[in-house]
Amino acid sequence: MLTRLLKASVLTSFAFFSLNATQFDAQAQKDKEELVKYFEAKFQDPYKDKNRFFLYSPEEELKDGYEKGLKHMDFGIGSYSYAKDAREQYEAIKEFPPYEDKIEDGEDLYTKEFANGNSLKTCFPDPTIGGDYPYFDTKRKEVISLTTAINECLEANNEKKWNVKKGKMATFQAFLAYSTAEAQKKMNIKIPTKEAQEAYERGKEYYYTQRGYLKLSCATCHIQGAGQRVRNEKLSPLLGQVTHFPVHRLKWGSLGTLERRMSGCIKDQGQVPPKNDSKQMHELLYFMAYMSNGMPIDGPDVRK
């Protein structure tokens, strides 16, 4: 019953979107639907579909290690949606996540007054905006990430910019993500103009382009490779990849931003990662965020 209700509401929201959709996001919309179709097919039954999707995985691993019959929204928790053993640990850690106090610290940062009497609250009167970034600024004709918007707010108020990877930036974003999740908001990326569409297309091309000395694309690991194991990693899917940031990574032992994660990942392809506030990074994130459109914001979260 509940699932039917959910389906119905998803359908209506689709309908709503397509009614509202201008031609600019027609392609993006189609890309997203195709992506969902692919992932649902891939994780319908990994053991049965070994020859189709998991040629290189050991049979016993496919038999026991994977969750089956996954649907679109299941991918919101990334690789934990299919990796059983990892999922248990994830849930054990989520019983008392290590970042909880950061949400409150983030709220303090939100209301803390700058020297000029303003605060971050002045720039972001509504803290439930985690799903609206990155957005295409039609006046400036460029993609603005949340991290960039926060630093621009600080600078506009004569405050020092924050490190974009961790520390205060991640702490404050934890509060925004939490507020957005509490308000049960979803990823809501828009493609309003021709320029925005072009930015989306460039981000998409970046995602699928093989790069670095290992000649890997983002897609190699996170579309075709999603769910495959590399050493001890079951690679995560593009769907839902940006909905849970900032994350506390066990590897970092602290909270970090999406940008921190991204540059680590691109570095692993064997090339110099683009700068965190570069056009390339912003457009790449724009594409990725659009692919998660309609999925609930569930940050901050824990990852390995």
Q: Which of 123, 218, 221, 265 is catalytic?
A: 265
- Alpha carbon 52 to its chain centroid, in Å, reads 27
| Residues 6+ positions from 65 with CB-CB distance below 8 Å | 83, 84, 85, 234
Spell out a b/e string for 128-159, using b for 16 or more CB atoms within 10 Å of the CB, else e. bbbbbbbbbeeeeebbbbbbbbbbebbeebeb
Q: How far is the CB of 170 from another protein (least distance, A)?
A: 13
> Which two tokens mark 280?
């390339």
The CB-of-158 to another protein minimum distance in angstroms stands at 28
In this complex, which beta carbon is closest to another protein, that of residue 157 or of residue 224? 224
Number of other residues whose CB lies within 10 A of the CB of residue 40: 16
Q: Residue 110 or 157: which CB sits closer to another protein?
A: 110
CB of 120 to another protein, least distance (A): 16
Nearer to another protein, 28 or 187 (CB): 28
Amino acid in the structure at residue 24:
F
Taking CA atoms, 167 is separated from 105, 124, 212, in Å, by 11, 19, 29
We find the least distance from the C-beta atom of residue 205 to another protein, in angstroms, to be 6
How far separated are the first and last CA of the chain, in Å rounded?
Answer: 35
Nearer to another protein, 158 or 270 (CB): 270
Cβ proximity to another protein, 35 vs 153, nearer residue: 35
| Separation of alpha carbons 78 and 238, rounded Å | 8
**DSSP for residue 198:** H
Torsion of CA 99, 296, 76, 218, to 10 degrees: -90
**Comparison of 86 and 196: residue with beta carbon closer to another protein:** 86
How many residues in total does the chain contain? 304
Phi, psi of 255 (to 5 degrees): -75, 145
Q: Is 218 a catalytic residue?
A: no
The candidate with the shortest Cα–Cα distance to 289, out of 246, 243, 232, is 243
**What Rg, from alpha-carbon coordinates, does the chain have?**
19
Instruction: Find how far residue 204's CA is from the centre of its chain.
Output: 14
Dig out the tokens for 260 from the structure.
């921190």
**Distance of closest approach, residue 85 Cβ to another protein, in angstroms:** 5
Q: Which residues contribute to the site for another protein (CB under 8 A)?
A: 30-31, 33-35, 37-38, 41-42, 52-53, 85-86, 88-90, 92-93, 95-96, 98, 100-101, 103-104, 107, 204-205, 208-213, 215, 217, 219-220, 223-224, 230-233, 235, 249-251, 253, 260-261, 263-265, 267-268, 270-272, 274, 278, 280, 304
Work out how close the CB of 249 gets to another protein at its nearest, in angstroms, rounded to a whole number.
7
Residues identified as active-site: 265
